[in-house]
A = this chain, B = another copy of it.
Amino acid sequence: MFPTRLKETANLIETHLHSVMAPLGDLPVIDAMRYAASGGKRLRAFLVLESARLHGVSQDYAIWPAGAIEMIHAYSLVHDDLPCMDDDDLRRGLPTVHVKWDETTAVLAGDALQTLGFESVSRPECHPDPLVRADLTATLASAAGAQGMVLGQALDIAAESAPLPLTLDEITHLQAGKTGALIAWSATAGAIMAHADTTPLLRYATDLGLAFQIADDILDVEGDAATVGKAVGKDADAGKATFVSLLGLDGAKARARDLVADACDALSPYGDDADTLREAARFVISRDS
């Protein structure tokens, strides 16, 4: 069920992003935006579409926030990969934007992908109720900004020059921003669109986001670059604190399993209808890329 849904989501998103970006022409910056926004697992878009389905929100509307979160995610990866940030040459098994084009193009393509993400949730096609559009925009900005994703990135950078490795609490706080905030927004987007209570999905997403990051740290140790699609072993080489360095490999795996169990429990108000989301949570800690 879940793998099929994820594949369907990926196809829907590719088509949607293609049509949204078609009118933008073919300057190198625009081509770089298309390149950066293509591929990937589309887990965030899946969470948006699935939470919308749970609340009876039409997929014709939900595809807009689903596309928006993938654009915001793509922008963050393009800027993260820059030489002055993580300096990565490989992303999803392909050259990163600044390698394929140049740094100038990467900065601008990332900037414009962020803008297009916000445009996507504010335009009338996204939802006929302007309150939904304004709420989606405000919550997305909150998740992506200096109290969400960028905060996590800033803490990550600050940690590199800190005298001591991060503690478990500090790394949990950092990851709640860096990867958790966008995942939480994705999973709650459907409830926001239906003016419904976001609490159960927020609990689900908070546990899921942390499990996702622990799984990433495990992949950085156990995965091989060809399968993962990006460089591995970088954290250990850099002497960075990770969930694996703090909990051990077995401890990290156990913690991820516990978090997934909690995430699934949080969905009890939705009954069996949320089983695909539960499958998604289990997938997150069993993936190999």
Given contacts A27-B158, A82-B107, A150-B29, contact A130 B134 (CB under 8 A): yes
> Given A134-B133, A137-B118, A138-B123, is A154 in contact with B27 using a C-beta cutoff of 8 Å?
yes
Binary contact readout A132-158 vs B (1 if CB under 8 angstroms, 0 otherwise)? 011101100110111100110111011
Chain A, 13-39, CB within 8 A of any chain B CB: 23-24, 27-30, 33
Chain B residues, CB < 8 A from A29: 146, 150, 153-154, 157
Q: A104 to B157, Cβ gap below 8 A?
A: yes
Chain A 105-132 interface residues, beta-carbon cutoff 8 Å to B: 105, 107-108, 110-112, 114-116, 118-119, 121-124, 129-131
Q: How far is the CB of A129 from chain B (nearest CB, A)?
A: 8
Find out whether the CB atom of B112 lies under 8 angstroms from the CB atom of A145: yes
Contact A119 B107 (CB under 8 A): no
Pick the contact of A122 from B75, B79, B104, B134 — CB < 8 Å? B134
Which B-chain residue is minimally distant from A86 (CB atoms)?
Answer: B104
* Chain B residues with CB under 8 A of A30: 146, 154
Asked whether any CB of chain B lies closer than 8 Å to the CB of A262, the reply is no
A151 closest partner in B (C-beta):
B27
